[in-house]
Structures are given as structure tokens and as C-alpha cells.
Structure 1
Amino acid sequence: MRLKILDSTLREGEQQLGVRFHSQDKIHLLHLLEEFQVDIVEVGHPGISAEDEQVCKEVATAARSVETLMHARAISEEVQAVSRAGADWIGVWASINPVSLTAKFGNKSPAQIKDRVAYAIEEAKKLGLQVRFTIEDASRTSWEDLFYLGKAAVEAGADRISLADTIGIWTPSECGEIVKRAVGEIHSDIEVHLHNDLGLATANALAAMDAGASVIDTSILGIGERTGIVDLLQLAVILKEKQGFQHFPLERIPELSHAVQWTTGFRPDHLRPIVGKNAFTHTSRYHVQAVQKEAHTYEMFPPELVGRKRKVIGERPPIASPVLSTALRVGSPFEKGASELKYHRNGPGNRWVLMDHRVDSRSTLYAIQRTFDDNEPENHVDRHTHDCDSVFVFWGDHADGTGLTCCVQMEKEEMVVHSPASIFIPAGIEHAYYYVSGKGTYTNIVLAPEYNQSLRS
């Protein structure tokens, strides 16, 4: 049986701190996932509220080719909610280890939980749903209890059993051992849902595959509760490079990454494999020399495979003042033309560098302020893109901040902006601005200490 990828960005992703997707954003992400050739998309938990049910229904209706799955506790009301929302699959879940029985099920017995699960599965099958049954907290559940509950679910009609490492404690050998035993003794397709609390989620996924698991749960960038789950983008590359999978369009990875970063506000660190800023950056003198002659000397695969570009930086940074000091430092802003920046010309008015690595070597941001005084209009900035967020602030010379007019461009939009105005520029969005008329100041804050190094080439 071919390995299937279930993506849970739209459900598990909403368990990440501060994340709640609008239905239209879920639909946009759903279509990106379809184009990326995942097999199943988990769209939400309609039983939470009427609002969630409506969102799930809209998303399921928008599906073009992928199968959809929705979460449900093992109770009739939530099974009915999944049916009304139009899912292809229902994901019923329960657990029977001692901590779950005490904390979540009011000290009910394993037999009572088993009966509840069987009833929910039978009801779902009558409604025409395919059923995945998840044993929550499987990694802290004895084999005897796993077998007891899993076998009961299969006998009630479950089409697949999922083993969830809910708190992320499995090692690859432990995960592989349990999955192999489940495949051999429960006699069902086995899915795994693996959390990343020890940083082992992807390694556990590979062990589960080797042990016979037929479905792996993922999310874009691995977003999810606490430290998240298996990263779809990393796993897709591993499957191509190590397992010969050819159907994922890996060049679409930046698009998927950017969409989730934009909708969630989550920014993966620079060292993140595949999508991190530094993933294809070479700075060591000897590495640079080798890469310029033969790129694969220090690259497993060309960055173009995953929609990225190689960055070679030949100069080492100078040793500056100590950065671990927390002592109060007062920097000195300095006047500097914008021609030091790529895509910029000096332009009208006077430009001051308020903060960057030159003002304080500890700085993690760049801030400039340009003053205008009834200058001639001039288009002095070309469109460009940063790999970090930035902000424009326009403030006129009147007491209420009015008095300055500029034009801002973002992607395909262009708008005349009258001060006072603040504009957030998300990472990855092409943008520019230019002065039109009036007096006042333009402030630009970029969340990187060196402007040119924050640019996407």
C-alpha cells in the first residue's frame, strides 16, 4: 500500500498559540495542499461550536481533489456535526490509560470508553463516513490497552487506527516497535500522529514508515500544539531524496511556507531545514571557495529543487564590541544616503540611520528616518522583498500628524497614503514607496540588523 500523507495544518495548526484561521484562509491553504499532492486534509473540529461547523463545511465544500477529515470526540453530537459539515472521513479519538481516565473521562472504566467508541464508530459508518480511530496518548498506554481499544474499534467498523504520541515522548526505536506490533496484531492500516517535544517527530515518522505505517500526519512548518508535529515540507524532501517519491512539487515549498507564516505570524528560525534563511547560505572561506567551483561539495541537493536560491557571502563579519553585555548604551544616529542599500537611490529629503548593527552591534533590527520638506516628487525605491517583517510609518509636520503624502506599493496594489499612517509589510511581500508631497517624516523599521542581508535576491 502506498504511503499516504495527511496534513493537519488546518486543525492541529489551530492548537498553536494565537492561531485561528479564517475560513477563506483555510480554503486557500487547502488548495495549496491539494496542489502539493497530499492525500488527506484534516480541516477542523466542527463539534466545538456552530461557527467551527460552518467553517469546516465551507472548507469541505471547496475541496477539489483531496479527501477531507474532521475531528470528533466519541459522542453522538460531534459525529452528527462532522456528517453535517460534509467530511469524507471522521477522526474519532479516545484514550484509556490511567491519566486519561482520571483527567478526562471522570474515572470511567476502559470498558465504558470502549463501548462509547464502538457506538460512535457504528453511528459514523451508518452516516456514510470513513472512520479513523485515534488512540490518544498511545505512547503512554500499555500494549494490552492499545490492543484492547484498537481491536474494538476495528470490530466496530473503523477503517484505520491512528497511534498518537500526544506528548512527544517516543524515540524512533520505541515508535517503530509499537507500530510494527500494531500492524501485525490489530490487522488494520496504521496511521501515526507524532508530536515534536523532544525534536524526534520526523525521525519517529521514518521509523513508523519502516515498521509498516501507511499514513503519516504532518503540518506545514510543523505547526501545532506546543512544539508541533512532523513538518510536511521537511518530510516531503526526505521522501524524495531518501525514498524516491517524485510526486511532490518541491519547488512550491516557499509558497506553502510563506502562506502559513503570513496567516499565523509564525516565523521559523534561520536554521530551520529547507525553509530557514541560512539553509542554503555559505560563509566559511573554504566552503565558499569549494561551492563556487562545485556546489554539491557542501549541498545535498541544489536549492532550486525546493524553490530557493543559493547565497554565498565571502566576507567575514568584523569583531565588534561585546554583545553579551546588558549595559545601557546610547547609540549615535547618523545621516547616510540610501544608495548604500540595494534597490534604493538617495532620493529626496535627508535620511538618517537610527538603529542598525553600526549604531549598536547588539541590534536585531534596522530603523531609518527620512525627513521631507516640500521636496520634488521622486520615485527613489524599486520594488523589493525582505525575508523578515517590516513597518512603514508616515508622520506629517502638523500637530496631528497630517501633512505628508506618499505612495505605497504592495504586490499588485498601489495606494496614495496620507499621514498619519502605519503599514505592516509581512515577510516575503514585494513592496516599495515613494514621496509625493508635503512635509514630515518617513520611518522604516526592518526586523534584521543588516538591511541588505535581509533582502530576498
Structure 2
Amino acid sequence: MATTVKIFDTTLRDGTQGEGISLSVEDKMKIARKLDSLGVHYIEGGWPGSNNKDIEFFNRVEELELKNAKVTAFGSTRRKDTLPENDLNLNRILEVGVPVATIFGKSWDFHVHQAIQTTLEENLAMIYDSVKYLKSNGLEVIYDAEHFFDGYKNNAEYALQTIKKAEEAGADWIVLCDTNGGSMPHEISQIVTVVKQTISTPIGIHAHNDCELGVANSLSAVMAGATQVQGTINGFGERCGNANLVSVIPNLQLKLGYECIGAEQLATLSTVARYVSEIANMHLPVNQPYVGSAAFAHKGGIHVSAILRNSSTYEHITPELVGNKQRVLVSELAGQSNLVFKAQELGLDFDNDNQQTKKLIEQIKDMEHQGYQFEGADATLELLIRDAYGKLEEAFTLESLKIMVVKTADQPVVTEAIVKLKVNGETVYNAAEGNGPVNALDNALRKCLMQYYPSLQNVHLSDYKVRVLDEKDTTAAKVRVLVESTDFSSSWSTVGVSGNVIEASWDALVDSFRYALLGQSCTVVPDEHRERVGLVNH
């Protein structure tokens, strides 16, 4: 039976320390839901002792009703010369009501003297007291031995004393941290082997990527006896980042025979990596192993000829195992498997050989070439498929739109949008102000349509992201706009691409409303109700 390795995801805490990454509470909730669906065992939500945003996340996380993951709160050992019951940081962990606490303490004597400026004996007491206090309050405790490998190389005897203290206090896990990311795989392996012989508590590894060895060091630790790996999705994190779980998980599971998550969950890995990247508004490198769009891409000559006969000639795994797909760049095949699956979901007869299907595939390939990406915009893809098969009834069409932005020296900016549509054979138009042009467009479009489709009052935009597709074109660059919408019972995403951010935003907004209206018939709101809710044209 395969050894199980527990996956500890710290994207929401350590990952947010990466340059350019800032997640709202809503962002963290979305990512937590996605991580749970992936099957990770622990989700580190943040440090409640450091900021109110993390406290709000912990107060709301129960709404998600997670099925696989335990939520853990992060913090430090008690302050020097302070009783644990009087320590604000430890008590904040208790207050947020998580089942698991992850606390870090000093393993490196240099840090004890220089960083927290106390004695080696007091540091040992800080570790023991903190773990004991949290355990006495019923929590599972993961002890992160910060700078353990540097500490061991400088003073092995003292580094081992620190983790023995955590074990004596009842820690459920002891995680060895390569905090500066400077250790080599052979050093990790040797030191973990010693630790395994010294303590009986299960061991974890927390590696950073400063030498681009975060994944390699994590694998080395597991092969030496660690059974928990800490890391982040896409390797987000401070400086050069953390160990990339998107590479760690398939390497452990597909290459080394360990068990981390289910096979069905592993098949969502690419989707999760891209989703988190979009939410964080960070570019996912096309050559990222396993999940990048180029990870299984082939271009020209002998390679293409060989992989078309047998893909294992130039692919180390079957891409679908991690939710990715093979791409042949000289004869683009990407997207067909996704289209077949989606069409079957919709009950459509999707035949690769008929002209209708070929035309749709060519259309999607052309749109991808323009910059469209449908991984995170399933609603737009569904609309395209329905339209190609004559299964889409247009709820409305655009006649014109105008946007006016007025800014004076002593007044804030005012934005107004005027939208003119054809709905149910009638021309309807409305004007609305908003906090910026996209919000104004959203408000005007909503005012036009709610006269005919009152159910849209429950639909609202929950997220809006803009990605520049070619930075070298600076302000003239083409952009991709991703819009996420919800009606309180479900959510969906749509995409628009244009050299004009307003046009791209409009396309994504329109698709959002079109998707919301699938299967709905036009119902004209009575005039008296229209007056009451302010929907009469002015």
C-alpha cells in the first residue's frame, strides 16, 4: 500500500507574501474552495494575530463547508518572558475557532540571539509553553521549525533540542523549514534522516525556492521520511517563492508512488493552477511543468510526426492525468477534447467530422489566437457551442452604446453610460452612472434588461480582472477581461478580448447576462412595477 503524504497549502498566507500578490477576503474564499476540491489536507488561511483581513476570512470560512481540508491559523510562539495565556497571538488563534494551529519557533541559535534577543533556554521554554497551551485547548498543533536546516548546520545539537521540546509538549507534526531556501537536496536528505531517528513525531518539510530547489528539496525530504509537504499553488511566495505544490503533487504521486490526492482530483490540477493564477492576477508561465499551456506542446518536424503515432515518444506522462492537453502547434488540435466533453454535457451531437463542428473548432482556434482563453470562462465557451448548434436564442442585441467621462479640476470623475438595445422586437435604452465605465455599463445594461427579465435582479458581478496580453505594446496593448458573476446559487465566468478595454469588458458583461438568461422567456414587467423600481426610460 502506498505511503500517504499530507499536502499543506499555504497559498493564502505564505503565498500572499510574494511581490505583486494581494488577495481580498473574497479571493481567499474562492481559492480555499478550489483547494478543498483539489483534495489538499490543510489550508493555512492566514495569521489572525497580524491583520483584520485574516480574522474576517476565519470568521467566514465555515460558509464554504469544506469537505476535504482542515483550516489552520498561523502564528508564532509566545513572546519572551510572557505567559502563553497572556499572549495575544496565541489567543487570537484560539478565538478564530480553527481546528488546527500552525506555529513557528526558532531553531537557529543565531536567530535566538539576533532576532528575538533572548537566551537559548528561554527560546526552548517559548516553544514548549506555546505548543502545550494550544494542545491543552484541544487544537491539533503543527510546529514549524523555522530556519531548521541552517540552524542544524550551525549548531546541530541545539536545533535538535528545539524540536524535541515541541515533541515533549505534544506537537502533532514537526515541520522542518528551509526558510532561506539555500539548502541542497543531499543536505535535506541527510538532515531529515537524522531527525527521523531522533523524534517519533511525524515530520513535514517547508522549502523555499531561492536556489530553484524547492520542489527537489521537498521530494528529498519525503524520500527520507517526511510525510507532510508544505507549499503553495504555482510556487507563490516571498522572494523566489515556496515549493510549488503543482509540481510536488504529481511528482510524488505519478513518479514516486506516494499517495497525495485522488486520481480524479489530480486530473483537475491544471484547472486549479490556472484558476488561482487568474484570481491572484498573476501570469501563469506557459512552460510551467505539468500545467503550463506549453507543457505538452509540440512544434514541427520529427517531434510532431512521432507524437501523432505515439505520444509517449515525447511526453513523460499522459497530459490528461493532470488535466492538461497535448497541443500540436503546426496543426493546432487544442480544445477539441474540451469541446467534446462540453457538448456531451449539453446533450449535443458533437461529431469531429461534420462541417458544423469543424467550423466551430476553427472559430475557437482563431479566438485563442486573438488572446481568448476558455479555461476560466466556461460560460462563454458554452454560449459559443450552443450558438454553433442553433441552440441559443438571443435574448437581446446591441444597437449602440456611449460612455461619457467628465473630470473637472475641483470635482471627482463622473462616468455615465448610455445603452440602446433591441429586446423582444422593441428598442429600449437607458442611462446610468457608475464607479468607472464598466460599472456604468453594467448598471445601464441591467436597467434595460430588467424590464423584460426581472430575474436579473439576483445577478451581480462578483469579480472583474484585466490581463494585458502583450506588454511591449504598452497602452495600445490588447487586453483580456475576465468577469465572474453570481446569482447567489451558482457562479459563472465569461471573457472578452480587444485592443479597447471597454469593448473587451462589454463583451464579457454581455456574455454574463446571456448566460444568466439561458432558457428564460421574456416577461414584460408591468408598467406600475416598472415605475416603482425605477425602470421606466428617461
Q: Could you say whether these structures have the same fold, taking a TM-score greater than 0.5 normalized by the shorter chain as the test?
A: yes
Task: Report what 1:303 is aligned to.
Answer: 319
Equivalent AA in structure 2 for residue 90 of structure 1? A
Q: In 1, are the aligned partners of 2:192 and 2:225 still within 8 Å (CA)?
A: yes
Task: Report what 1:117 is aligned to.
Answer: 127
Partner Cα separation in structure 2 for residue 206 and residue 290 of structure 1: 32
Q: Residue 286 and residue 179 in structure 1: after superposition, are their counterparts in 2 closer, same or farther (change >3 A)? A: same
Does structure 1 residue 73 correspond to structure 2 residue 86?
A: no
Q: CA deviation at 1:15?
A: 1.1
Task: Report what 1:325 is aligned to.
Answer: none
Secondary structure of 1:254's match?
Answer: helix
Task: Report what 1:176 is aligned to.
Answer: 189
Partner Cα separation in structure 2 for residue 433 and residue 237 of structure 1: 33
Task: Report what 2:57 is aligned to.
Answer: 55
Q: CA deviation at 1:2?
A: 2.6
Unaligned runs of 5+ in 1: 316-338, 347-356, 358-364, 367-381, 385-393, 408-414, 435-439, 446-457
Indicate which of 133, 136, 146 corresponds to 2:143. Answer: 133
Q: Residue 433 and residue 238 in structure 1: after superposition, are their counterparts in 2 closer, same or farther (change >3 A)? A: closer
Partner Cα separation in structure 1 for residue 481 and residue 242 of structure 2: 25
Equivalent AA in structure 2 for residue 164 of structure 1? C
> 1:75-113 CA distances to partner (integer Å, 9 max, x unpaired)?
2221111111111111121114244224420x2111111
Q: CA deviation at 1:152?
A: 1.2
Give the alignment of 1:440-451 within 5 angstroms.
none
Q: CA deviation at 1:308?
A: 2.1
Unaligned runs of 5+ in 2: 79-86, 332-358, 372-382, 386-399, 407-414, 422-428, 439-463, 467-479, 484-492, 506-538
Moved over 6 A (4+): 397-404, 415-420, 440-445
Partner Cα separation in structure 1 for residue 171 and residue 403 of structure 2: 69
Coordinate RMSD, CA, aligned: 3.7
Does structure 1 residue 247 correspond to structure 2 residue 262?
A: yes
Q: In 2, are the aligned partners of 1:54 and 1:85 still within 8 Å (CA)?
A: no
Indicate which of 407, 410, 431 corresponds to 2:495. Answer: 431
Q: Residue 135 and residue 406 in structure 1: after superposition, are their counterparts in 2 closer, same or farther (change >3 A)? A: farther
Give the alignment of 1:131-280 within 5 angstroms.
131-141=141-151, 142-244=155-257, 245=259, 247-248=262-263, 249-280=265-296
Partner Cα separation in structure 1 for residue 272 and residue 146 of structure 2: 28
Equivalent AA in structure 1 for residue 70 of structure 2? E
Higher mean C-alpha deviation, range 268-277 or range 243-252: 243-252
Q: CA deviation at 1:206?
A: 1.1
Task: Report what 1:343 is aligned to.
Answer: 363
Partner Cα separation in structure 2 for residue 231 and residue 22 of structure 1: 22
Q: Residue 33 and residue 402 in structure 1: after superposition, are their counterparts in 2 closer, same or farther (change >3 A)? A: closer
Q: CA deviation at 1:20?
A: 3.1
Does structure 1 residue 85 correspond to structure 2 residue 149?
A: no
Partner Cα separation in structure 1 for residue 279 and residue 69 of structure 2: 21
Q: In 1, are the aligned partners of 2:437 and 2:502 still within 8 Å (CA)?
A: no
Secondary structure of 1:193's match?
Answer: strand
Q: In 2, are the aligned partners of 1:194 and 1:217 still within 8 Å (CA)?
A: yes
When you count helix as a share of all residues, which structure comes out higher?
A: 2
> 1:5-27 CA distances to partner (integer Å, 9 max, x unpaired)?
11111111121123332333322
> 1:404-441 CA distances to partner (integer Å, 9 max, x unpaired)?
8589xxxxxxx99999946833479643589xxxxx99
Equivalent AA in structure 2 for residue 81 of structure 1? R
Higher mean C-alpha deviation, range 211-220 or range 51-60: 51-60
Equivalent AA in structure 2 for residue 313 of structure 1? L
Secondary structure of 2:58's match?
Answer: helix
Higher mean C-alpha deviation, range 134-143 or range 173-182: 134-143
Q: In 2, are the aligned partners of 1:46 and 1:85 still within 8 Å (CA)?
A: yes
Task: Report what 2:390 is aligned to.
Answer: none
> 1:91-148 CA distances to partner (integer Å, 9 max, x unpaired)?
121114244224420x211111111121111211111111111111112103212111
Q: Residue 100 and residue 309 in structure 1: after superposition, are their counterparts in 2 closer, same or farther (change >3 A)? A: same
Task: Report what 1:335 is aligned to.
Answer: none
Q: Residue 123 and residue 308 in structure 1: after superposition, are their counterparts in 2 closer, same or farther (change >3 A)? A: same
Indicate which of 26, 29, 33 corresponds to 2:28. Answer: 26
Percent identity over the alignment?
24
> 1:146-166 CA distances to partner (integer Å, 9 max, x unpaired)?
111111111122222111000
Task: Report what 1:332 is aligned to.
Answer: none
Report the count of equivalent residues.
368
Q: In 1, are the aligned partners of 2:481 and 2:504 still within 8 Å (CA)?
A: no
Q: In 2, are the aligned partners of 1:82 and 1:90 still within 8 Å (CA)?
A: yes
Q: CA deviation at 1:37?
A: 1.5
Q: Residue 417 and residue 266 in structure 1: after superposition, are their counterparts in 2 closer, same or farther (change >3 A)? A: farther
Higher mean C-alpha deviation, range 305-314 or range 83-92: 305-314
> 1:161-197 CA distances to partner (integer Å, 9 max, x unpaired)?
1110001111111001111111111222111100011
Equivalent AA in structure 1 for residue 147 of structure 2? D
Does structure 1 residue 286 correspond to structure 2 residue 297?
A: no
Secondary structure of 1:145's match?
Answer: helix
Indicate which of 36, 39, 62 corresponds to 1:37. Answer: 39
> 1:220-257 CA distances to partner (integer Å, 9 max, x unpaired)?
11111112112222122212321333614222123211
Task: Report what 1:95 is aligned to.
Answer: 106
Q: Residue 172 and residue 416 in structure 1: after superposition, are their counterparts in 2 closer, same or farther (change >3 A)? A: farther
